[in-house]
Structure formats: structure tokens, C-alpha cells
Structure 1
Amino acid sequence: MTSDTHTADLLAALPFAVHLGITLDEATRDRVGGTLPWSAELCTAGGVLHGGALMTLADTVGAVCAYLNLPAGASTSTVESKTNFFRAVRSGSARAVARPLHVGGSFVVVQTEVRDADGRPVGQTTQTQAVLAPRKG
């Protein structure tokens, strides 16, 4: 199980995610989980949680998953992201779970499933994260 301090430290590096209300409840090399509560401020017409907010949730947990799989001293940046949406979120929350599909020396590919509070699939994101070597000097 992941400690609250560990997940808080990871989120501290992602102020936009914190601003939106995203929380992490698990963070290991093999699995990262996080939640975004429904909020009227994050909605489009009809009280539907904005797709961009859902993509931010997926990108956040996916980026943390990639980061946890980096070699020491390396950093990462998203170079490609593809999202499919299956249903709207009109209340409750959205929960995302990211798992690495490929961990290599140049790229980490992560797949993130997003579900609503009832466990129904909301969307799926596959993203490619570059492995960036530490900057010198």
C-alpha cells in the first residue's frame, strides 16, 4: 500500500492537478490510482464533467506511473496521448488507474482506465512519455 506522504509528494509536483481536486490513493511502479470529484465548475452543458478534466485525470495518473518507472535522475514529458470516451460523468467522481504497457530506455507507454463512481467505464487513455536524461551543467 502507498503512504499518504508518498502520494502527497508526487502530487506536489503537479499543481494543476491539485488545483482541479485530483487526489492519488496509490502509486507504485505497476499501478497508480487517482480520483477527480465531480464539480459543477469542471462541467460542460448539462452538468457533464468536461472531457478535458477527465483527460487531465488520466494524464496525471499516467505521468506519475511513467515517472515511477524512470531511471534515477531522468524526467519525463508526454509526447503522445490518445483518449476514447465511453460515457459521461454527471455526479460522484471519476477514478483512473494507470499501468505501464512498455518501459524502455527512450519511452514509457502507459494505459489508463477511467471509471465512474459506480465502476462503469468512462474512458481509456494510452500515452507515450519520453524518458529525458538529466540535464548537464
Structure 2
Amino acid sequence: MTEKTSAATPDGAVAEGELTALLGTMPYAVTLGVELEAASAAETRGHLHWAPERCTIGGALHGGALMSLADAVGAVCAFLNLPPGAAGTTTVESKTNFFRALREGTARAVARPLHTGRSFVVVQTDLYDDEGRRLGQTTQTQAVLLPRA
């Protein structure tokens, strides 16, 4: 992700009208169907609806789709936590634990920063179903990209 959005509210949250533009910087997430609900440096929220074309055997939402949701929402959170002068961010490590399958409804992601530094941002993204049951948890490390000389 590159080029920070300038349309933030006084509390540092991305203005509602800018969420689509921010997500638009990640074409894969858009193609998959990820949607952002809210984004700030403190917490970013998004979701992905269950659909048969996103499933594996037995009708469960594919783990890769859940990981992609976590990666996209976590990347936005990391991006909003970049230090001044950073050019962008990229995922360098991601680990997901799955706890239950999603067979209908919506997967919801809540990303929060665990560490924000000069070189790396570490984000934890919790995945839930519509009933608030935990589907999984992703911890990802994002490298801080510096401008090219």
C-alpha cells in the first residue's frame, strides 16, 4: 500500500466516503469482495460475505479467503500506523490460526496494531462470524517501505 489518504476525521479515522478509495488500492481484495466498515490507526474493521464461489469442500468459506480478508484489513491498519516519511507497507510474515468454519453469513475482521516502529508494524486481526464467535486470528508483520532515492 502506498500514498496515504488525506481525508481523515479529527480523531484520525478515515472518512466514510474514503474507505472505498482506500480499499481500491488493493485490487485483489476488491475482486474477492472485501469491504471496509471503518478504519483508523487504533482499529480497522471489514468483512467478507459467504458465497459458494469462495468455498471449499463441504460449503465452508475457504481458509485462503479468510486469510485474504485478514491481510487486507490488517494492511490498512498497518498503513494508517506508518511513521512519517514512509512510502508504504508490505506484508513480510503472516500467521493464521483457524478455530471454526464459516458456512453462511459474513466473516468480520477487526485489526489492531500490536507494535508500530520505524521498520515494522505488527497487526493482530481477529475474525468473527455474525454471532460473534471467533473464526480465526491472524498476526502479520508489515515492513515499513521507505522512499526510493
Q: TM-score over 0.5 for the alignment?
A: yes
Partner of 1:94: 107
Partner of 2:69: 57
Cα deviation code 1:32-84 (max 9, x no counterpart): 00000000000001110000000000000000000001124421110110100
TM-score by length of 1: 0.96
User: Percent same amino acid among aligned pairs?
Assistant: 62
1:9 positional shift: 1.5
Residue number among 19, 25, 31 corresponding to 1:13 in the alignment: 25
Partner of 1:112: 125
Q: Determine if contact 1:31/1:65 at 8 Å carries over to the other structure.
A: yes
Q: Determine if contact 2:126/2:137 at 8 Å carries over to the other structure.
A: yes
Partner of 1:44: 56
Greater than 4 Å deviation, 4+ residue runs:
none
Partner of 1:29: 41
Residue number among 61, 65, 71 corresponding to 2:83 in the alignment: 71
TM-score by length of 2: 0.88
- Partner Cα separation in structure 1 for residue 84 and residue 115 of structure 2: 18
Partner of 2:139: 126
Paired AA for residue 24 in structure 1: L
- Partner Cα separation in structure 1 for residue 71 and residue 50 of structure 2: 17
Deviates more, 1:47-56 or 1:74-83: 74-83
Aligned length: 136
Unaligned runs of 5+ in 1: none
- Partner Cα separation in structure 2 for residue 62 and residue 44 of structure 1: 24
1:3 positional shift: 2.7
Paired AA for residue 21 in structure 1: G
Q: Match of 2:66, SS?
A: helix
